[in-house]
Structure 1
Amino acid sequence: MAYVRRACAFLNQRFEAMETAAHGRSRDLANEDELYFGVSQRMVTARLRPAIEGAQWSGIVSRIGVRALETGLVDAVLCVQQSPDDRFTPLPVLARTPEQVLAARVNKPTLSPNLEVLEQLPGSGIRRLLAIGVGCQVQALRAVQDTLPLEQLYVLGLPCVDNVSRAGLQTFLESASDSPATVVHYEFMQDFRIHFRHSDGREETVPFFGLDTPKLKNVFAPSCLSCFDYVNGGADLVVGYMGASFGRQWLTVRNPRGQELLDLVETELDLAPVSSRGDRRAAVQQGIDAYDKAIKLPRWLAELVGFIVQRVGPQGLEYGRFSIDSHFTRNALWVRRHHPEKAEDHIPGFAKAIVARYRLPSL
């Protein structure tokens, strides 16, 4: 674990070296798609048919984990179950059965020490591992993978922004949901609304623009406010929603290992090409200023803005760029204000190129 601490993504940024080691090259900054979404061999959108019952969306990530075990591709899957005492408290495990993988379905949007379970590898008999994780976890894993007693490592990545502590999550739920005690999972979706699923099956939606920004502005972890790996650039295969139309998942294959993982489930997927529509730039600039001033809109106005943006705003890959631009500009400003001495080295080149397209508030 000492290696993991030294490899912390928030202490040592090494995107180019990580991408080159994992994929054989770093992203092409002259290619607009790679500038935003990282090294790519293939990008598609998909739905799993039939969906896994109880999955957050259709269950593509869980099905890949199950198939990896069933086919013998790996001996174990590093995934995150939930604490028996609290549905949002993460419990990292080395799953050895499909049932253990399925028990990890649904995101836990709180900080999770996934790599702690690597200490269990020596003597476990695990020689081939599938690790599922978010960007900061994958960066640390890539930095230490040569020290692990493994013959093969596959990495299935999730796009990720704005994790919180368990206490921070509670603050968010209480400020945003009409029934925080019954929320099972939630996601910020492409229709510019937060979708909450409740334990009774009810779905509640809240417009992005209706959040209590003054209350929530400082609830996110400092690590997340200094992160520029939204798209999980070190993973072999990435599965998320940010670059897909509403109701579908966005998949990016970064290297041959990523295609191996996709091969496990491709015949079970309803596949479609990626698409893009709209122009994000004005919305991003307006959002920068609104967030910095911690503006809170009245609910009726938030609903109206959400209605309009949902119909004329960015969709598909352009929505993904909207989300990346919004978070990179916010995070670059946060780093420059709170750690100006580290900003030049900490903010990677691709993020600088994106941030430079916008006007940021003064430091």
Structure 2
Amino acid sequence: MEIIEGIKVPTYMESSFADLESKVINRGKCCLCGACIAFCPRIEVVDDVPQLVDYDALCGMCYTHCPRSFLDISAIEEGLFGETRTDELIGVNNGIFAARGNDPTLKKSVQDGGAVTALIKYTLDKGVLDAVVATGLSDDAPWKPVPVVLTDSSDVIKVAGSKYSLSPTIVGVKEAIDEGFEKIGVVGLPCNIQALRNIQVSKEPYQIGIEKVKLMIGLFCMENFRYDDLMTRFVKKVLKVNLEDVVKFEMREGSFWVTTGDTTYSVLIKELDKYAAEGCRYCRDFTAELSDISIGSVGSDHGWSTVIRRSEAGTRIFEDAIIDGYLEVANIAGTDLIKGLSRYKKEKAK
């Protein structure tokens, strides 16, 4: 065990998959971020749970990278932002805005203001990034989320809109690294961002290419769901809606909205609490506090996205996308609702 700035950090060869299994998976803390699966060929997902399918090499990488094993937030913030937070509820930031994308061909497909889609399109069009990892949909099951590696801005429609089920996003990052991309962007949930930051600050004995990840766009997230729990147990059995008929899912105004070709269904979000993934109950991060730029719907009018600028890289890309006409921005009325939900999530996780 190594001591870094007063934090006990497990070193490699001191932990194994058995530690990950006993201290994270079996305790219901796993968020299915994909960090263990992506960088270890001996681990696979079986029924949405990481499982060892070969001998354990005892390298300790899976446990050390896991955002549920340990997370030195202060060290990450100091390295990423050059400072630690003074705002405990929102984290390090240098401005909060309302924004929306300007591409009229995407407006029917995007979520809220489409700021995430606009930023992906901008970075690929301008060569700021040569690949972006985001969440698309599987061809094998309706509304089943899967990691997607985008290299052409014309394909952003494939990842437009929110998907409300867990997906091992970091697997897509590993795929982009293996394909040789040098400037990789990632769109992920707070847990995905935490995992990537954990990998960045860990004393990694292997060259896995994490330095090629140049931008992390984090999404606001109160909680997420395992696919079968939300889609089968709730949407199909409770709402009696065929997944093949759904054209859009949304969470807004305190409700979960399901839109089919001719009908819209809604239930209060609190009605979904019993379907939430158990690992989400341990998460204290609502606004993806360790990302370069955070985006969500809370705090802005309908049809707009809330954008929190954090790092220098995130701020620069956001400002350039505005200058080049990919985004338009407006002021937001206040941050009380954002802070209220952040406080609620932090207190609930205790």
- CA separation of 1:13/1:145 partners in 2, compared to 1, >3 Å: closer, same or farther? closer
Identify the residue that residue 186 of structure 1 maps to in structure 2.
Answer: 249
For residues 241 and 39 of structure 1, the distance between their equivalents in structure 2, rounded to whole angstroms, comes to 19
For residues 135 and 242 of structure 1, the distance between their equivalents in structure 2, rounded to whole angstroms, comes to 15
Identify the residue that residue 322 of structure 1 maps to in structure 2.
Answer: 340
Whether the aligned pair in 2 keeps the contact of 1:47 and 1:271 (CA below 8 Å) is yes
Identify the residue that residue 279 of structure 1 maps to in structure 2.
Answer: none
For residues 332 and 142 of structure 2, the distance between their equivalents in structure 1, rounded to whole angstroms, comes to 33
Shift of 1:244: 2.0
Identify the residue that residue 252 of structure 1 maps to in structure 2.
Answer: 308
Correspondence 1:60 to 2:115: yes
Whether the aligned pair in 2 keeps the contact of 1:43 and 1:250 (CA below 8 Å) is yes
Identify the residue that residue 163 of structure 1 maps to in structure 2.
Answer: 224
Identify the residue that residue 93 of structure 2 maps to in structure 1.
Answer: 40
Identify the residue that residue 23 of structure 1 maps to in structure 2.
Answer: 81
Correspondence 1:272 to 2:336: no
Shift of 1:86: 2.2
Over the aligned positions, Cα root-mean-square deviation in angstroms equals 2.4
For residues 80 and 191 of structure 2, the distance between their equivalents in structure 1, rounded to whole angstroms, comes to 15
Which structure's residues are more often helix, by fraction?
1
Identify the residue that residue 88 of structure 1 maps to in structure 2.
Answer: 143
Whether the aligned pair in 1 keeps the contact of 2:129 and 2:184 (CA below 8 Å) is yes
Q: Which structure 1 residue ranges, 5 or more long, are not aligned?
A: 29-33, 277-316, 333-363
1:61-81, Cα deviation, whole Å (9 max, x unpaired):
112111111101011001111
Matched to 1:256, the amino acid is: E
Identify the residue that residue 292 of structure 1 maps to in structure 2.
Answer: none
- CA separation of 1:185/1:6 partners in 2, compared to 1, >3 Å: closer, same or farther? farther
For residues 175 and 145 of structure 1, the distance between their equivalents in structure 2, rounded to whole angstroms, comes to 42
- CA separation of 1:74/1:226 partners in 2, compared to 1, >3 Å: closer, same or farther? same
For residues 65 and 184 of structure 2, the distance between their equivalents in structure 1, rounded to whole angstroms, comes to 20
Shift of 1:321: 2.6
Q: 1:13 aligns with which of 71, 74, 88?
A: 71
TM-score where L is the length of structure 2: 0.73
For residues 27 and 166 of structure 1, the distance between their equivalents in structure 2, rounded to whole angstroms, comes to 34
Shift of 1:4: 5.3
For residues 262 and 91 of structure 2, the distance between their equivalents in structure 1, rounded to whole angstroms, comes to 36
Q: Which structure 2 residue ranges, 5 or more long, are not aligned?
A: 1-38, 41-60, 202-206
TM-score where L is the length of structure 1: 0.70
Correspondence 1:229 to 2:285: yes
Q: 2:124 aligns with which of 69, 88, 95?
A: 69
1:109-145, Cα deviation, whole Å (9 max, x unpaired):
1111111133334552311111110111111111223
Matched to 1:196, the amino acid is: V
Whether the aligned pair in 1 keeps the contact of 2:102 and 2:327 (CA below 8 Å) is yes
Matched to 2:318, the amino acid is: L
Shift of 1:88: 2.1
Percent of aligned pairs with the same amino acid? 21
Alignment of 1:138-217 (within 5 A): 138-145=193-200, 147-149=207-209, 150-151=211-212, 153-170=214-231, 171-174=233-236, 177=239, 179=241, 181=243, 182-189=245-252, 191-198=253-260, 200=261, 202-208=263-269, 211=271, 216-217=272-273
For residues 296 and 237 of structure 2, the distance between their equivalents in structure 1, rounded to whole angstroms, comes to 25
For residues 175 and 324 of structure 1, the distance between their equivalents in structure 2, rounded to whole angstroms, comes to 31
Identify the residue that residue 340 of structure 1 maps to in structure 2.
Answer: none
Shift of 1:236: 0.4
For residues 223 and 134 of structure 2, the distance between their equivalents in structure 1, rounded to whole angstroms, comes to 19
